[in-house]
Amino acid sequence: MSDPRLQAPSAQRNRDPILDVLKRVLPKSGTVLEIASGSGEHAVYFAGALPSLTWQPSDPGEAARASIEAWTAAS
pLDDT for res 23: 97
CB contact at 8 A, 4 and 74: no
Mean pLDDT calculated for residue range 36-61: 97
The yes-or-no verdict on residue 47 having pLDDT over 90 is yes
Distance (Å, rounded) from C-alpha 46 to C-alpha 32?
A: 10
For 11-48, give the DSSP string.
Answer: HHHHHHHHHHHHHHHS-SSEEEEESS-TTSHHHHHHHH
- The residue among 61, 19, 17 whose CA lies nearest residue 44 is 19
pLDDT of 1? 63
Give the tens place of pLDDT for each residue, 17-44.
999 999 999 999 999 999 999 999 999 9
Position 56 scores a pLDDT of 97
